[in-house]
Amino acid sequence: MSHNLTRVKRVHNPKYQPSGPKSYVFLLNKYNFAPTKPGPYFQGGKVQQKGKHGLGRLFGGKAQVQKVLQKKNTAGGQPGDVPAEDQQNDSQYLCTVTIGTPPQTFRLDFDTGSADLWVWSTELPKSTSTSGHNVFDPKKSSTFRRTAGSTWKISYGDGSNASGDVGTDNVNVGGLVIQKQSIELAKTLSAQFSSGVGDGLLGLAYGTINTVIPKPVATPVENMIAQTDIPKTSELFTAYLGSYKDKNDPDHGVSFYTFGYLDERALNGQTPYYTPIDNSKGFWQFNSITASVGSQKIQRAGNTAIADTGTTLALVDDSLCKAIYDAIPGSKYDDQQQGYLIPSNITVDQLPVVSFDVGGKEFAVQKEDLTFADAGDGFTYGGIQSRGNLPFDILGDTWLKGIYAIFDQGNKRFGAVVRDDPTQDPSVPAGQ
């Protein structure tokens, strides 16, 4: 079989407004963990009724206390739900994918931390504004087939959710056509899901965490492998995540994914370093038992990390967080923003080299990515924050921008080479 393999360009969303606290709240929801540092957000208990209950149903009801993300009331009253505007509901980068015959075009968030391929659809209620979105119309695709009895639902820690039904159709990713790929059509989207400019999500984690019931469906990469859309010798995909800050570097800040091959220009003459992954939880998870902050080597026995392209920040344990910001002059923890802040006038030579272990070899965060977004009052929200009570690190774009990442699904391993990024600019535009 011939393989039409090309880069899938990752395009910066011009409407994206970076916010440290909003990005952190998004992660509290996505991974449903409890913060361990002080701030307005916390994980509380909420009583939910299950079974037969309500008027005329006096027996058989069951009350359960569910952990949900909540926000303290600054006026001193009872804590309440987290408003949609408090979390980052938009994607910083999007990739173009087409679905159906003739093809309908969508801008999707490629996410190695989830395993659903869902899109906005004509099945959404008329009350949902679709302005600015590409909406999939299954009636306009001759290759769409409904999957009877299958539904999907993504629920986050604050109770927000997206759900709908399922069908199959042809999906074109960078010229590579996946036949009869399961597509999850959105019928309901809570405000947290509907306020961004993207048209949905393409999950690149393992299908064991796909949300379709009664039976999870194969992910696009799993189908690429099953249909031999990509070579048997290269059952993998890669992520090269650039930044607007890199426009003066040799790669000009280009950002892309590849499927089925390693990009030689991205390798830049280097041999990838690989480590086995543990995919038992569905993630790209590997051992990460050391970290370095400047000349300080920190031992982290038994620690693991996951690589997540759907996360802007990097989250690590509290002791490592403290060590990192202790090494940055003038940095502080801010209770109101629930995160560590760095002085906006920090210079590159004042920032330490921070690196994380990938199964025996450490790879550094670019110094410019230690700063993330304007925090006001002469400070910048840091790109590395607390993982709360999560038992593993989440290494998102803050760290991934420093490497060319290789997700080798066929060999169950994660690989990396260092990105060539000679210029570093830790400044962030005011208000961004």
Catalytic residue numbers, as ranges: 111, 308
Encoded tokens for 357: 């272990």
Rg of the chain over CA atoms, in angstroms?
22
Q: What is the Cα 285 distance to its own chain's centre?
A: 14
Determine the Cα–Cα distance for residues 202 and 52; give it in Å rounded to an integer: 37
Going by C-beta distance under 8 Å and a sequence separation of 6 or more, which residues neighbour residue 279?
206, 208, 285, 412
Contact status, residue 145 vs residue 168, Cβ threshold 8 Å:
yes
In this structure, the number of other CB atoms found within 10 A of the CB of residue 312 comes to 27
Which DSSP symbol is given to 7?
-
Look up residue 431 and give its two tokens.
């208000």
Cis bond before residue 138 (omega within 30° of 0): no
CA pair distance 237, 224, nearest whole angstrom: 10
128: number of Cβ within 10 Å: 15
Measured between its terminal Cα atoms, the distance across the chain in Å is 47
Find the angle CA(15)-CA(19)-CA(24) to the nearest 5 degrees: 125
| HSE-CB for 104 with a 13 A CA cutoff | 21
CB neighbours of residue 404 within 10 Å: 24
Q: How far is CA 294 from CA 16, 317, 324, in A?
A: 32, 18, 9
Report d(CA 239, CA 10) in Å as an integer.
9
Q: Tell the residue number behind the tokens 């921070």, with chain if given.
A: 354
**Residue 70: phi, psi to the nearest 5?**
-135, 170
Q: Of 53, 54, 51, 32, which Cα lies nearest the Cα of 43?
A: 32
- Report the alpha-carbon distance of residue 369 to residue 12 in Å, rounded: 16
Which two three-digit tokens encode residue 186?
Answer: 């959105």
CA distances from 56 to 47, 48, 64 (A): 20, 18, 20
